[in-house]
Amino acid sequence: MTATTSKSNADLDSTAHIMNLITDQLATQLRRVSRDGTRRPAAPALVLVAHGSRDPRALATVRALMERVRAQRPGLSVRLGHIELNEPLLPDTLAALGDREAVLVPLLLSRGYHVKQDIPEMAAASGARTRLAAPLGPHPLLVETLHTRLVEAGWRTRVDDATRRTSAVVLAAAGSRDPEAAEDTGRTARLLADRLGVPVLPAYASAATPTVPEAVRTLTARGHTRIAVASYFTAPGRFARECAEAAPWITSAPLGTHPAMANLILHRYDESLTTSTRPLPLLASA
């Protein structure tokens, strides 16, 4: 291939890239215009609400997940806010929205204090018009992600009956004192047990019992010798690491940026706009 040919191909690739960008931008603009030529109101922004972590891998994972959501829904404004420990903090993200409408999607796997108190209070103190979506769990898409992560860690999907009888899973979650959080985690454990065909016992890193070591001892006493730990965390962090250290066999990676996670985030966003969930109230000004 001559230098002239290589340059021509490069020019064509560059031109094609530019044309694709123009086409994508035009399609986005057209989606904002109704058939009668009037401009549709902008869709509410989607604000991912992460807990926050001192582990830098957690922030990198959440940002990568946010980019996956953006790629699946071009034209939708997707932003990030943390409850604590990482920037941007949720109040800062909401302040940047001004009075624009937004849907807050918690990157949390169950109901609990953060969903019921922290996030609504932060939202009420802001000037943004906000609506709170349900937490991610429980949901079959989470079970799909858990299954994939277990298989990646070495869980065999086809085993004989004897091996299946000795197998079990500990579903390791963060934990909460709220009984509804345990109810949600228990629901996920039952869905995962149905998927795997083996017992799945919920366990917690803090604030609730049993702990992962206690759950492992319980399953061992019941005759299970192949006990895996399913990491029920959205991203790497201290809790995920401590639970993994207690595993007697394999441990799956956190849920992370699995495609089903992005699908579930968008599902919670859409669900909040089509159900009777009421917008969060604003605090009265002083």
Residue 162: both structure tokens together? 């004897």
Contact yes or no for 121/172 (Cβ under 8 A): no
The torsion of the CA quartet 152, 154, 157, 159, rounded to 10 degrees, works out to 170
Contact yes or no for 201/215 (Cβ under 8 A): yes
Which residue type is seen at 26?
L
Residue 281: band (very low, low, confident or very high) from pLDDT cuts 50, 70, 90: low
Residue 279: band (very low, low, confident or very high) from pLDDT cuts 50, 70, 90: low
Backbone angles phi, psi at 283, to 5 degrees: -70, 140
Q: Choosing from 51, 82, 114, 258, which is the catalytic residue? A: 51
Q: Is 173 exposed, middle or buried (0-12, 13-18, 19+ CB in 10 A)?
A: buried
Give the model's pLDDT for residue 216. 98
Q: How far apart are CA 158 and CA 97, in angstroms?
A: 50
Instruction: Report the length, in residues, of the chain.
Output: 286
- Is it the case that residue 205 has pLDDT exceeding 80? yes
Contact yes or no for 45/79 (Cβ under 8 A): yes
Q: How far apart are CA 268 and CA 275, in angstroms?
A: 10
- Is it the case that residue 4 has pLDDT exceeding 60? no
Residue 41: band (very low, low, confident or very high) from pLDDT cuts 50, 70, 90: confident
Contact yes or no for 240/203 (Cβ under 8 A): no
Q: How far apart are CA 90 and CA 80, in angstroms?
A: 7
> Can you give the residue ranges of every domain in the chain?
45-136, 140-259
Report how far apart, in Å, the C-alpha atoms of 228 and of each of 103, 156, 161, 198 are: 36, 11, 17, 11
Handedness of CA 203, 205, 209, 212 (dihedral sign): positive
Give the model's pLDDT for residue 116. 96
Nearest Cα neighbor of 148 from 196, 184, 180, 190 is 196
- Is it the case that residue 266 has pLDDT exceeding 70? yes
In the chain, DSSP finds a helix count (H) and a strand count (E) of: 11, 7
Chain centre distance of CA 4: 49
> pLDDT tens-digit profile of 131-190?
999 999 999 999 999 999 999 999 999 999 999 999 999 999 999 999 999 999 999 999
Contact yes or no for 140/261 (Cβ under 8 A): no
For the chain, the distance separating the N- and C-terminal CA atoms, rounded to the nearest angstrom, is 73
> pLDDT tens-digit profile of 84-100?
999 999 999 999 998 88
Average pLDDT over residues 231-243: 97
Give the CATH architecture of domain 140-259.
3-Layer(aba) Sandwich (3.40)
Q: Is 33 exposed, middle or buried (0-12, 13-18, 19+ CB in 10 A)?
A: exposed
Q: What is the DSSP letter of 85?
A: S
HSE, CB side, 13 Å, CA atoms: give it for residue 97: 30
- Asked whether the domain spanning 140-259 has the same topology as the one spanning 45-136, the reply is yes
Q: How far apart are CA 56 and CA 255, in angstroms?
A: 16
Residue 128: band (very low, low, confident or very high) from pLDDT cuts 50, 70, 90: confident
Q: At what angle do helices 140-153 and 259-274 cross, to 10 degrees?
A: 170
Mean pLDDT over the full length of the chain: 88
**Topology annotation, domain 45-136:** Rossmann fold (3.40.50)
Give the model's pLDDT for residue 284. 39
Give the model's pLDDT for residue 13. 45
Beta strands 200-204 and 167-173, pairing class:
parallel
Our answer to whether residue 51 is catalytic in this structure is: yes
